Structure 1
Amino acid sequence: MSDEKTTKSTLLLVDGSSYLYRAFFAGGESMSVTLPDGTEQKTGATRIMINMMNKLLKEYPSAYAACVFDAKGPTFRDEIYPAYKEQRSPMPDDLRSQIAPIHEVVKLMGWPVLDVPGVEADDVIGTLAVAAAAQGMEVIVSSGDKDLAQLVNEHITIIDTMSGKRRDLAGVLEEFGVPASLMVDYQILVGDQVDNVPGVHKVGPKTAVKWLTEFGSLQAIVDNAANMKGAVGENLRQALDWLPTGRQLLTIKTDCDLNGWVPDMPSLESIRMGEPQTEPLRAFYETYGFKGLAKAVGGGDAAPAAPKAPKGAKTAKAGPPGLFDGPEVAAAVPTEGYDTVLTWAAFDTWLERVQAAELVAVDTETTSLDEMMAQIVGISFSVKPGEAAYIPLAHAGPDAPEQLPLDEVLAKLKHWLENPAHLKLGQHVKYDRHVFANHGIEVQGYAHDTMLQSYVLEVHKPHGLSSLAERHLGRSGIAYEDLCGKGAHQIPFAQVDVAKAAEYSCEDSDQTLDVHLALWPQLLADDKLRFIYELEIASSETLYRIERNGVLIDAPTLAKQSHEIGQRIHALEQEAYEIAGQPFNLGSPKQLGEIFFDKLGMPVVKKTATGARSTDEEVLEKLAEDYPLPAKLLEHRSLSKLKGTYTDKLAQLANPRTGRVHTHYAQAVAVTGRLSSNDPNLQNIPIRTAEGRRVREAFVAPAGSLIVSADYSQIELRIMAHISGDEALLRAFLAGEDVHRATAAEVFGVAVEQVSADQRRSAKVINFGLIYGMGAFGLAKSLGIDNTAAKNYITRYFERFAGVKKYMDDTRAMAREKGYVETVFGRRLQLPGIQDQKGAKLAGLERAAINAPMQGTAADLIKLSMVAVQKALDEQKRATKMIMQVHDELVFEVPEGEVDWVRTEVPRLMAGVAELKVPLLAEVGMGPNWDKAH
């Protein structure tokens, strides 16, 4: 919607009263500033409101707009019904004091502001929306108020930017079960508890939807009231005299007299969006302590050409980010609010501020990106936007000032850091946990992580702090490379000039707090997304423990395997030379092509983009069906990768102090919620080959302990049964049957006891293949059958498992409509661009849409299990350690005395983290190493 034509034909209306309440209760009640006259002024709701307005206009740029507030005093509804809204709690004083500043700053930002005496904000919005729609304009109303759904038509859409909810014609029908044209009738029946408007006694949403679906309107329901049976019919008859009053109270007026407020109605020219008033806006921001916003404001109202940015400086558009064309200016950093702590007096002042703050952003500067090895160079804190401090602790160099002793500073911070009552915030807090742990401090009280907030809200976008600040705040800051350089010329952070380091680190803490204020209200507004976020926060803490524990590696076993694999690789080379009749470079596509196609006469399977004959892995696999040389090369490649990635390197990656490998689990990478393991990658060990499985023999338990593996059984099929509600799948799982055997019986039309091993294997391929969106071609290839047979198998499968087919069809439609799908627990799995795709690309995205809820729900379940098991281990003070999470499996190092407890309790805990339509089942194995535990 960013092109000129679209913005000119769109009216953007903001329910300002809804916005300011949500800003206040989303965390805006705590921030304050001392004004020039000495009075203390709360500012949190104001700050969050500014973020919300900037973000909205960035997403929906519009030539015409208004922010509408409720005015003081009664309205016509109070005259009709004196009890109207009487049970509402009075506005909190801390919010009331912010109304005038909010009105002021919204106007300064360029928004027309309306608060019409005697007319509620909803009625002003309704009048403007209907007038604009009548002129053919598109109307976007931003509000969380469900009452406005009655305005929705083909030109008017209600959006809730905090929850991501979109109430267009389809959205209203899906959410409420009735079309927008019947929303007034629906509201009259159910009433409005918030506004103290009664409906029909004991009639809730389900009954209202049932009646309106059956009769078509409230009037038709009234006409049939005499025939309504039971208590609900009697309640309806008793309410008949009230219903006309209910209609007056609940119907949004769309013909209010706004002359004097919008004097040129209905042309709407007086609510054309204006330019921000730069200098007054900057002054406002400075007065209210919003130093970061003040610095981000562009040049003066009638300024000449803006000064050129310094060479290499990052730039930002003048005015709110991404909204107005204008000269580029250097994005400034609010350095006057940043302190560098070099004395104990300054330290004590900031420690007092940190201890008194309700939430503090913390950031560490370190010697390494390896969290197990990193040492602290400096620490920064931010207690409110625009205000931060950096404590340099290990900067070196001839110009480095005298710094406070690192050990003494950490000793003074230790109580605050380890106190869970002191809430903390960070960007990728798991890393900082490790850094502090390297210095003997176990940080408690990490309440928020902006990286994870972004991951839950906008999984398909980058989650780095610089991206978040630019996207949500319009702020661009100092890059690490600007301070330290790149590549071979990069210097350690300890050698960075302290003044520059302070600016950089304070900015990180400051931006982290600012980003949190922008994202947290959106999570608060959606219960499902908030649940997923809280799960991610809890998972982060558990993953920190797993990473810290690490897994013990048997280096001699790996060395032996490397030697044996090396001998086999050498033998394969000799065998390949013999088949080819000459030595050659097994890694050269050119030489392979000459030997395959020119010398040995193999058929060309496909060509590369440049027209060369391809010898990639897919070609090798096809040719290996008929020729021995490609088979040798495939085995050679597999073993070389195994040796280079695992048997040679695992021992080298072990921590020299612990003898353990400490992998890093990345949370904010996979769009499905799955974890990603790296340095080393423990999730990609190729266990389908004997040599690959043997690698797990090197993951061992110390003397007196065992390795225990707890793995969810057929988890994605169980999730499919739950989501689809397919009767045949549910029946098989509830009866405890072998689901692959049961599927084979259905597909091949035989009794369960007559299913052969080959039929069961085929059914297993079908079960898992269809979950992953496999078509007839893929199934044919997997089973070694022709396409016609594969199509017949799929047809029979969907005939027997109609619920699965319906789930797939419904999911495709929902994905195309909404642009995302969800897990059972509400994790949102974005599919950007699906509405615009066709053909093969659309089919690929639809396959992803079908599979993502299964993979995502499985990811949610294993995270719930991790958290539940770690909680039990802590509460019971067990010595058992969780040491790995691999796909649907948890791996433990268990003292022999706790084996019976783990064997019983871990599967019970894993099975009990959620209640699905089919039972969850976790199976346990154990042994001296990871391989034997399977």
Structure 2
Amino acid sequence: MITHSFPVLGQDIPVYVPQTADDFRLFRQYVTDKANAGERVAFDTESTGLATFSPGYRIRVAQFGTPEQAWALQTEKGPEMRELASWALRTLPAMVAQNRNFDLLSSDRHLPGVTLEELAPKTLDTYIFSHLSDPRRKDQGGVGNGLKDASAHYVDPSAPDTAAGLYEEFHKIGHTRDTGWAYIDIDNPKYLSYAGGDVILTSRLLPKLQARVRELGINPSLPDFEHAVGYVCALIERRGMRINREYTTQLSAELLEESAKWAEEAKKYGVANVNSTKQLSEALLGMGEHIPERTDGGAVQVNGKVLKRLADVDKDWDPIESRTPNPLAMAVLRSKRASKWRTSYTEAMLRTADENDRVHPKIGALAARTARMSISDPPFQQLPSGKWEVRHCVVADPGHRMISVDYSSVEPRVMAALSGDEKMTAAILRGDDLHNLTAASVYGPDFTPGQRKVAKVVQLGVAYGGGAATIAAQTGLTLQAAQAAVKGYKRTYPKLARYIRALQGQVIRDGYTLRTPSGRRLVFDRDAAYASFNGEIQSTARDIFAQGLLEIHARGLTPHVLLPVHDEIVADATDNQAHEVAREIGEAMTMSLRGIPLGTDPDVGGSSWGSLYMRKASTMIENDSWYAANPDAARAAEEARK
């Protein structure tokens, strides 16, 4: 037996690394004793990286531990070790893991004889309890939800950082913090010690977090709710999404060319490097642009938000029509977008796809401060809603059609339900367009399409705590015009405005905390009480979506689901079942909040995810200069749309 140790609270806790048949018998006895006692055992894995489903991925070490000892099985050394780890996972009746979905999905795919369905019901996730007690990251003023941060707060502030502590070892062998996991010597003492430390800390952390959740009076049903949501997300992640490799490869090359083309366009205005903020700010100011935004260091701010305002497009790249678009800002935006899409999407899909050309985006079921979900590798959640090019890479299974089901204007409906504003509620129940109602109130019944877009920005801006200055920056309005628009909005929905003020005051009185309708605890910065209504809306909308996901699962529809993204479920089904499945998913998601109906918009497309967006993009195809410069893409889009 090789024995290492991990320090916790001044004690060296043993980390056993079995090598011989006698060692394996001792490990089996340890597991059997814990199983007979019903004691919860921590589980973790060390692997070659994060791309669980990509070719070449493997689990190198599987660790099991309790507060007083840990065992590290070097599964990379042979099938006997992997069989032993699988036996332990099947035998133990209760486990705990940090970010359990990662380790359970890895085990499901790479260890013999164990399944996600078997492991998830008996495994608690310390991350869930940590997030429920304080959803903020450490850099946001919170405890932090990572194992190191949470353990430093609740267990031992002096315990080693088991991830960062290995980076020096990686550097010694010529690798980085990202690549070293696959190449560090499997017998490296620090590697094995820290592997054991992860489960020792996790096992000690769980009871501390459970007690903290009870102490704070968190809704006692939320831990079970979040574990159930996480399990459904893991099932979806395991299935993955099929990609058209040929199209994805071609699009990747086209995006590289597009980025270079727009970079050349930017050079016409004196910007040799689109990533140089100095060159860009000087060129824009030289063109007569007024840019009041500044960085923390006092430099002119030329981030994406500023550039989109100057290019006269909103966050989804739709024209605002409030000013003449600045051609340099648009060129830089397009060059950077093409480069980002290539790196974050097409190349990521080609790199991480499994042997069946399926990508498995990681679904963070409980991610942001507000609990909103996240999607990464690739980050599909960051794609603008109206763009189809990247989504066209994702295709349904053979003989299947793509399905999209999303909530109809869920956030305005949540706003009405929370505030009880009678005018907004009546408009929703009548089926009125809230942005039209706001535009008519501000600009009169003959408002223009551009004024409607401004009204939309105003509605979201006011609800999310933005003032007239923020709205002016986003829309290109003068400050005076933005102030008038805000007044008009508050005049249209007076009870909503009063509710927002009252909520902000209550949050301040409650120590900058807020309890959402589901009983979730949100924590705000001392200077950010203005964001409390935004937090309540986002968190409530997320919980509605998560409840819809559980209802989809209860109805046996999860095998159809490909991805939950924003307020949308992406799915597929056979051609003759697609419309029925879309309807059933829509019904599962439909519910009400305080008398406000939360309906859905089921849609059935063709063989690609992008087909669901191509119909919506017809005006863009006709008018967008990108298509003018890319006639082949325009023709392909038009043919697919038809």
TM class, shorter-length: 0.7 to 0.9
State the secondary structure of the residue aligned to 2:102. helix
Whole-angstrom CA distance in 1 between matches of 2:382 and 2:97: 30
1:911 CA displacement: 1.2
Alpha-carbon RMSD: 3.4
CA distance in 2, matches of 1:601, 1:915: 49
Where 1:365 maps in the other structure, the secondary structure is strand
| Contact 1:364/1:376 (8 A) holds in 2 | no
> Does residue 1:883 correspond to 2:566, yes or no?
no
Aligned partner (choices 899, 907, 911) of residue 578 of structure 2: 899
After TM superposition, the structure 1 = structure 2 runs for residues 278-289 of structure 1, keeping only pairs within 5 Å, are none
Alignment of 1:571-590 (within 5 A): 571-577=261-267, 579-580=268-269, 584-589=272-277
SS in structure 2 opposite 1:680?
coil
How many residue pairs get matched? 571
Cα deviation, residue 812, structure 1: 1.1
SS in 2 for 1:885: strand
| Pairwise CA distance, 1:352 | 1.8
Structure 2, unaligned stretches of length 5 or more? 137-142, 174-179, 312-323, 614-642
Q: Distance in 2 between matches of 1:556 and 1:793?
A: 49
> For 2:62, which of 371, 379, 392 is the aligned residue?
379
For the residue of structure 1 that corresponds to 2:219, the secondary structure is: helix
- Return the alpha-carbon distance in structure 2 between the equivalents of residues 777 and 767 of structure 1: 14
Q: Does structure 1 retain, via aligned residues, the 8 Å contact 2:552–2:558?
A: no
The alpha-carbon distance between structure 1 residues 380 and 603, as it changes in their structure 2 partners (threshold 3 A), is closer
After TM superposition, give the deviation of residue 746 of structure 1 in Å.
4.3
SS of corresponding position for 2:406: strand
Matched ranges for 1:547-562 at <5 A: 547-562=237-252
Distance 1:375-1:360 versus aligned 2 partners, 3 A rule: farther
What is the match of residue 808 of structure 1? Answer: 500
Distance, in Å, in 1 between the alignment partners of 2:194 and 2:272 is 54
CA distance in 2: counterparts of 1:851 and 1:824, whole angstroms: 14
For residues 425 and 353 of structure 1, the distance between their equivalents in structure 2, rounded to whole angstroms, comes to: 17
Note if 1:775 corresponds to 2:467.
Answer: yes
Mapped to 2, the partners of 1:610 and 1:498 lie a distance apart of 44
Give the Å deviation of 1:394. 3.4
- Following superposition, the deviation at residue 790 of structure 1 comes to 2.7
Is 2:44–2:198's contact at 8 Å kept on the other side of the alignment?
no
Deviation at 1:369, TM superposition (A): 3.0
- Equivalent residue for 2:84? 409
Where do 1:296-311 residues align within 5 Å?
none
Shift of 1:735: 2.6
Alignment CA distance shift 1:672-1:341 (3 Å)? farther
C-alpha distance after superposition, 1:295-336 (max 9, x if no partner): 9xxxxxxxxxxxxxxxxx9897xxxxxxxxxxxxxx32333x
Indicate which of 203, 209, 233 corresponds to 1:519. 209
Query: For 2:380, what is the secondary structure of its paired residue?
Result: coil
**601, 607, 615: which is aligned to 1:923?**
601
What displacement does 1:576 show? 4.4
- The amino acid of 2:508's aligned partner reads R
Q: Distance in 1 between matches of 2:282 and 2:453?
A: 39
1:591-650 Cα offsets, whole Å, 9 max, x none, are: 55666667x677786777777776655665566547544443333333333334334x14
The answer as to 2:524 corresponding to 1:831 is yes
Task: Check whether the contact 2:46–2:61 (CA below 8 A) recurs between aligned residues.
Answer: yes
Q: Is the 8 A contact 2:72 2:195 kept in 1?
A: no
Name the stretch that deviates more: 630-639 or 724-733. 630-639
Distance in 2 separating the partners of 1:769 and 1:666? 26
Matched-pair contact (CA < 8 Å) for 1:724–1:807 = yes
Question: Which amino acid is the alignment partner of residue 480 of structure 2?
Answer: T
Residues 350 and 560 (structure 1), Cα distance of their counterparts in 2 relative to 1, 3 Å cut: same
Using the alignment, how far apart are the partners of 2:90 and 2:8 within structure 1? 41
Alpha-carbon distance, 1:390 to partner: 0.9
Distance 1:583 1:333, change over 3 A: closer
1:764 deviates by 2.4
CA contact (8 A) 1:593 1:614 kept: yes
Deviations 1:762-813 (A, max 9, x none): 4323222222222222334444443333323322322331221111111111
Secondary structure in structure 1 of the residue aligned to 2:543: helix
Conserved? CA contact 1:423–1:447, under 8 Å:
yes
Alignment of 1:524-673 (within 5 A): 524=214, 528-577=218-267, 579-580=268-269, 584-589=272-277, 591-592=279-280, 617=304, 620=307, 625=324, 628-647=327-346, 649-667=347-365, 669-673=367-371
Write out aligned runs for 1:126-137 (5 A): none
Counterpart contact for 1:340–1:502, Cα < 8 Å: no
Mapped to 2, the partners of 1:745 and 1:415 lie a distance apart of 63
In 1, are the aligned partners of 2:507 and 2:529 still within 8 Å (CA)? yes
Instruction: Indicate the residue corresponding to 1:363 in structure 2.
Output: 43
Which residue type is aligned with residue 505 of structure 2? A
Aligned-pair distance for 1:513? Answer: 2.3
Structure 2 counterparts to residues 495-510 of structure 1, below 5 A = 495-497=185-187, 503-510=193-200
Question: Match of 1:423?
Answer: 94
Number of the residue aligned with 1:455? 131
Counterpart code for 1:457: S
Residue type at the aligned position of 2:552 = V
1:389 touches 1:502 (CA, 8 Å); kept in 2? no
Query: How far apart are residue 453 of structure 1 and its match?
Result: 0.5
Secondary structure of 2:389's match? helix
Q: Counterpart of 1:349 in structure 2: which amino acid?
A: Q
Query: How far off its partner does 1:831 sit?
Result: 1.1
* TM-score of the superposed pair, with normalisation by structure 1: 0.56
Amino acid at match of 1:802: P
Q: Is this contact kept in 1: 2:70–2:197, CA < 8 A?
A: no
Partner of 2:122: 446
CA distance in 2, matches of 1:915, 1:831: 24
- Equivalent of 1:721, from 403, 416, 437? 416
1:530 deviation in Å? 2.6
Aligned: 1:466 with 2:148: yes
Does the CA contact (< 8 Å) of 1:360 and 1:381 recur in 2? no
Q: Deviations over 1:702-756 (max 9, x none)?
A: 2111111111111111111111011111112223333333334444565xxx776
Could you say if the C-alpha distance between residues 340 and 500 of structure 1 is closer, same or farther in structure 2, counting changes exceeding 3 Å? farther
Is the alpha carbon distance of 1:489 and 1:797 closer, same or farther for their aligned partners in structure 2, counting shifts above 3 Å?
Answer: same
SS at match of 1:377: strand
Q: Relative to 1, partners in 2 of residues 1:727 and 1:574: Cα closer, same or farther, differing over 3 Å?
A: same
Contact 1:868–1:909 (CA under 8 A) maintained in structure 2: yes
Residue identity opposite 1:515 in structure 2: L
Letter in 2 for 1:445: P
Kept in 2, the 8 Å contact 1:880–1:898? The answer is no
Distance 1:520 1:746, change over 3 A: same
Pick 1 or 2: higher relative contact order, CA cutoff 8 A, min separation 6.
2
**Cα shift readout 1:58-79 (whole Å, capped 9, x = no counterpart):** xxxxxxxxxxxxxxxxxxxxxx
Tell me if the contact between 2:305 and 2:474 (Cα under 8 Å) persists in the aligned partners: no
**What secondary structure does 1:864 align onto?**
helix
What's the TM-score, normalizing by structure 2?
0.79
* Aligned 8 A contact 1:350 1:389 in 2: no
What is the identity, as a one-letter code, of the residue corresponding to 2:600? A
Q: Find the residue that maps to 1:334 and give its secondary structure.
A: strand
Which structure 1 segments of 5+ residues have no match? 1-294, 296-312, 317-330, 397-402, 835-841
Q: Tell me which of 850, 854, 857 is aligned to 2:540.
A: 857
> C-alpha separation between the residues in 1 aligned to 2:558 and 2:361?
21
2:550 corresponding residue in structure 1: 867
Counterpart amino acid of residue 769 in structure 1: G
Q: Is the 8 A contact 2:128 2:227 kept in 1?
A: yes
Please give the secondary structure, in 2, of the residue aligned with 1:356. Answer: helix
Contact 1:700–1:930 (Cα < 8 Å) also in 2: yes
Distance 1:706 1:850, change over 3 A: same
Distance 1:382 1:694 in 2: 47
Q: Which residue is equivalent to 1:394?
A: 75
Q: In structure 1, what is the Cα distance between the partners aligned to 2:561 and 2:505? A: 41
- SS of structure 1 residue aligned to 2:64: strand
Name which one, 1 or 2, has greater alpha-carbon Rg: 1
